Amino acid sequence: MSAQHELIIPSDLSEARRIQSLVEQVLQKWGYSEHDIFAIKLALEEALVNAIKHGNQMDPDKKVHVRFAVNDRQFEIHIADEGPGFNPDDVPDPTDPENLERPCGRGLLLMRGFMTHVEYAPPGNRVRMIKVRADSQPSS
40-97 residue pLDDT tens:
999 999 999 999 999 999 999 999 999 999 999 999 999 999 999 988 887 666 566 6
At 37-51, the pLDDT tens digits run 999 999 999 999 999
pTM of the model: 0.89
Domain residue ranges in the chain: 3-136
Pairing of the two strands 63-70 and 126-132: unpaired
Question: Please, which residues have CB within 8 angstroms of residue 40's CB and are 6 or more apart in sequence?
Answer: 23, 27, 32, 75, 114, 115, 131
Kindly report the CATH class assigned to 3-136.
Answer: alpha beta
**Which residues neighbour 39 within 8 Å (Cβ) at sequence distance 6 or greater?**
114, 115, 131
Side chain identity, residue 75: F
